[in-house]
Every structure is written in C-alpha cells, then in structure tokens.
Structure 1
Amino acid sequence: MSAPIIIIGSGFGSYQLIKTIRRTDKHLPITVFTLDEGHDYNKPDLSHVFSNKQNSADLIRLSAQEFASENNITLHAFTKVDCIDSVQQQVFVNGVAYPYAKLVLATGAKTFVPPMLGNATDSVITLNSLREFDSAQLQLQNAQTVLVIGAGIIGTEIAMDLNHSGKIVVVVDPSHGVMASMLPELVASALQKKMVNMGVVFEFGRTISSLNKTELGICATLSSGQTYTVDCVISAAGLKANVGLARQSGCKVNKGLVVNNQLQTSVNNIYALGDCAEINGKVMSYLQPILLSANALAKTLLGQPTDLKLPAMLVKVKTPHMPIQLGGNTVTDVASWQVDIDALGCSVKAYNEQKQIIGFVVTEGHMNNTFPLLRALPASL
C-alpha cells in the first residue's frame, strides 16, 4: 500500500483541502493528526456566539467521526506529532513512525497573550478554536464584566457581541483606535463612537501591567494606573503562527512557515496551509485566501502543479450594529482618500501616489458599492 498524504491539523484549511481532494479522488489515502477533537465547525461563528446564545456543540457541522467517515480519511484525534523526518518522509507519534508521500502542515496559530505580571495571568481566555471556547464557555456565560485585550478585528467583533449579549465590556489596546491597522480614522472613529454609545469602554494607548485574583474577580491594572475588576479577561491581541514542528524539520520560517506559490515549503514534499503559512511575505488568516490555497494545493497534490492566484479579497467585519466591508490596502501605502458619506453610511476609496485605487471601505447602507469597488482593485497575488 502506498504512503498516504498526511495532514497535521484539523482546521478550516485542512478540511477544505480534504473536501477538494475528495471531489476528484475518493480513495487517495489521507491521514490526519490533530491535537483537537477533529470536529468540522465554522470558526468565524466564534465571534458571535454570545449574542446568539450558542454553546460549543451548536457550532459543530459534522462530528470528527462523521467527517472522517464521509471523507474516507484516517483521523487521529487528540494526537501530538512529536517530530518529522523529512529525509525518510516520516512523522513520529509516541515513537511510532508514519510514512508519508506528501506532508501538509496545517498547524494553525495561537492567540498572542501579552506579557503581564500577577497571579491571574494563567486565567486569560483565548477563543481561537472550538476547543478553547468549549473550555471557557461556562465561565463566559456566567460573567457580567469582561475585559478584552486588543481592539483589532477579532477583539472589536467579540467586544460588540459580548456587549450585545448584555455584558459590561472594557477593551484595552496600545493603539489609538479600533482596528487601527485596517480602518481609516473616519470609519474607525464612527465605529468607536457607535460602540461607546452602546456602553463599551475603551482604554487606548494603554497596556495591562498586571492581573491579580481578588475576592471580587480579577483586578486588571493598566499602564496608566487605572484598575478594573472584571469576571473574565479575553486576549484578542493577534495571532502567532504555530511553526515549532516545521522549524524542527528544517523548513524555512519567518513570521509563518514560508511557502512558494504552490504552497511548498523549503523542504521537498512538505507543504503548508492556513494560519501557519506565509505567502509572499504575508500570513493571511482570512477564509478566502485559505479556501483558494486549499483548492490550489489539492490540484498540486493530485499531480497537477498549480500556482496560487489571489484576486482582490473582501473582508467582512462582523459588527452588526455597524456593518463594514473592506478590501485591498486601507491604511498602508495610502496617499489620498475619496469619501462619499451620507446618512446611510459611507464609501471610502484609497489611492496610491499614482492615483490608482488600492483599497476601499464601505459601511452600513453603502454595501451595494462593495463588488464594483472590489472588481476595481488589483489582484493580491
């Protein structure tokens, strides 16, 4: 029997790759190793579980056993791969060697938790997977006050959702405003004002110095000296690619696991996909680039080498009280803006020094402008 394709990880990219392969080849041997249960779920749903009053079971589309059976794969759940022998093309689990024909690293990323002092730092919650939500859901359901570290896209989405579900929310971020790396100040200010009017408290230009347990909850001391006593602390301070296993195997690593346009790493027959992969100098953690990467990689693994092509891509911000969609470069390399604003919302176009459109943001009642603007943008890759 020929060696299988081995995939390490069971996130969106991994399972999308499997589904795509199976549309062409129903019997190619595929083995998956994952630290999680291996359930098939929609990760973006984690941003609005609180207002939807969902638990972890509600997010599962197919159980691990159902997914494995439906897609004819061998699934090893709750299983850590200890090391990779790229010369002999084997992975090792508890001293047992598993040979592979091709290896796909879909090891994902972990939430960055800023360094802090205090005896409650180990109580910080992260919500980057179903397993993490499952372990924290009871605590979060019972919480009345929540502090969110980070006002990027995930922190902003979670803060609005927690507020909408009736909780008191404090957001702490060292930047100057919400989603500072993604939104022009005009849009960011409007979103921040909307959330402040809803009751969200923002502490910008601040970090957390310490977290300490008290009888009343967790006391968070900010760099300004301000203190907040809360029931829970969630970190949404960005992601760090899980590259330890890849680095041990000799793969080139930068911000993520460096791959070429066919998703191959610097080591022959080892590929990377999803939150851990660095493509053209960027780690792209959104669903569309991961979906397109999985589709291209499936063809390559099936013997049809295929370069990844990325069109201009749309990002939908899940802030239902002020819907936002954006594409292209919306903060960096912007020389000028063109703004169309009215009572319904706004459309903001970003231009470079050559007066070429390079990005856009639309809000609320301007959503019908999204796809004409998206089509006007240059391809991402």
Structure 2
Amino acid sequence: HYLVLDSDGNVVLRIVGGMRLPDFQYAVARALSPKTSLVGTEKLYQSGKRDKKTLANYLEALNLAHKNDQFKAVGKEYMAMLKPKEYSKEENWKVFTSWIPDRKSDNYKYLVEHKADFVKNVGAEKGNMFMEGLFYWDVLSYATAHKDYDAMDMAQLLNEMKKAELPDSCDSYSLYKVAQLRGTKKYSELLDYLKTQGKSLGVSKIYVDMSLNKIDGDEQTKNKVLAYLREEQKQYQGTHARRLEDLIRSMENTGGVEFADLTFDQALAKAAKTGKLVFMDCYTDWCVPCRHMAKEVFTLPQVGGYFNEHFVNLKMDMEKGEGVQIAKRYNIRAYPTMLVLDTKGNVLKTVLGARKAEELLQMVRVDKK
C-alpha cells in the first residue's frame, strides 16, 4: 500500500497492491498532474466535468486505489458513453472487464465474439488470463471435490473453454484433467498425473493436494494417497509443508477429533439436525500452539471419542476465506481460541490457548437442560 503525499501530508495518489516496475512507474507518474492524480480527478468529477477523458483518468486513479464501489459507479457512466466498437481499446479494458461478473453476462459474450480485437489491443496474455479466471473457480471446485462431479456440466465447461480459445497451457485445462480423473474415480491415474504433471497446476496444486483426504476409496487407495502426500510434503516448505503434515496426521488418525469439511452455516445446520453443538477451533497457519493442539491433543482417542459424540467439529483459519469474518464476529484476537456454540451461533464456552487433553475435555463440557 503506497501513498503519494503533498507537502501538507494530504493523499494525492493511493496505490494498493504490488505490480511490475513499468506499471508502478506509470502509477506514480500519475500523481504529478492534477488531471491524473486521485485528488485532481476527484475534484474534476465533483465539479461536474464528465467527458470521456476526465472519467477515464478518474477511473484509473480509483482502480489504483482499489476504491471498488466508486469505480463501479463511475464505470457505469463511462460505459454508457462508449460505442461497442470502443470496448476493445486498451484504455477501456479495465472498466469493460469490471462489468463481466461471470460467463453469462452480455459483455462476456461480446468478449468471446470479438476476442481477436481485444488480443490485438491488450495482448493475448492479459486477455487469456482474464478469461481463464472466469472458468478457474468452477474447474477448481470439481478438482478439489467441493462440488459433486457432474459429467454434463464438465462437458459444458470444456466446450466453453475451447470456444473462448484458451491456450492449452492454461492452468484450467490441467485442473480439468484432475477433476475428470477424480470424478470418474480413477484414483491411481489421478495420483500418477499429479506426480508427473503436477507442476502444470501452478499454485493450484496445493489446493488439490490438501483436498485428497476427501477421496472415498478403499483402504488400499487411502494408503496410496498417504504415500503420495508424504512424498509431496518433502517438496514444500513453510506453511504448505505444515498444512500437509497436519493433513497426513489427520488421515492417519483413527480415533481423534473428526473435523467436518463444512462452512460455518453448514456446521450450524448439521448441529441442529443431529442434536449436537458446534466446536470450532479458531487457528492460524503461523500459530505454534495451534499446531501442537492439532498434532498432540485432537488426535487422542479420548478427545475424539467425546468430541465426535457431542459436537459438529469445525477448524477454521481466521486469516483466510470465511475465517476473516468469523474472527470479526467473535472478536478472535488470540490463537488458538476454541469455541463451543449452540445451533444459533451463540457462544456457550470459550477456551483460550493450548490445553492438555483432560483440561480441554473438562472446559468444553456443556450441561444440556
């Protein structure tokens, strides 16, 4: 997060996020003129100056500052001024793509039909990267088994990727192969593919590896998965290595706490349906006491026996995904923090810090009236 200030300390330009050197130089240079700085363009806009050039400069400043709501509002005005043939111009790329929420939008259809024009003006790399992003999460959801395999939907995804003329080298095609092997339960082929072609998945590979505990094969398949994960753990360092270590331990554990792969709301719903409470382990990747609890306490049969009988058990990283909002909701500031919740999400018990098994069992007990 970078600020360009005037001599009185007022923000002239705000730059959020990292970028390549030429782009960063370009961004900083925009602070030197009131026609392109955030303060200058905002004043022009508020004064009623709304020609295309002024709006384009204002949008660029808002985009650099990550003022997304304002960018969206001004972008709507700007888009209304453009003729369709102007959509593919490089200076309109950011605002045009901001109006493509998914592959069902009219602007996406226009992008596919006129891809050659966009590639000519903005470059193939930028165009393909954006288009792939519209497929990525759908394909990843199948590859990590967050969505139940649907052969017809998968075929439709492949057809749309080809229609979008995505290059064969894009991550989504590799993820598609993973999803296909996994969905058709060809687990041996899946593991072989991950061993030999895993690098083609890029940063997505850790997500796939971390989801392999959900494979529903026989004991022989489970052992193959564990053998694969043990080898893969050697290739990782830091947080990823620790996460894989915890995953392997949980898969080897036959009597410890069974943590459900559910969202917070799903956990509450399951608790209500089964007549249980919710136990939530609020942790972070960097928390050493959290890892101690995961390895030395939650794996114990006596702990698992009580917790699995009385709770829907949930682990949630407070710095990622849904955990960020959960941390705010329950004012979680120390780790580990362990909560016992009723089916409405109300806190019944709070346990701060690592605890021995006997102490933890005593602290989480709730007398049901």
Both structures adopt the same fold (TM-score exceeding 0.5): no
Q: Identify the TM-score tier after normalising by the shorter chain.
A: under 0.3
Q: TM-score, normalised by structure 1?
A: 0.24
Q: Which has the higher strand share?
A: 1
Q: TM-score, normalised by structure 2?
A: 0.24
Q: Which has the higher helix share?
A: 2
Greater gyration radius? 2
Higher relative contact order (CA 8 A, sep 6+): 1
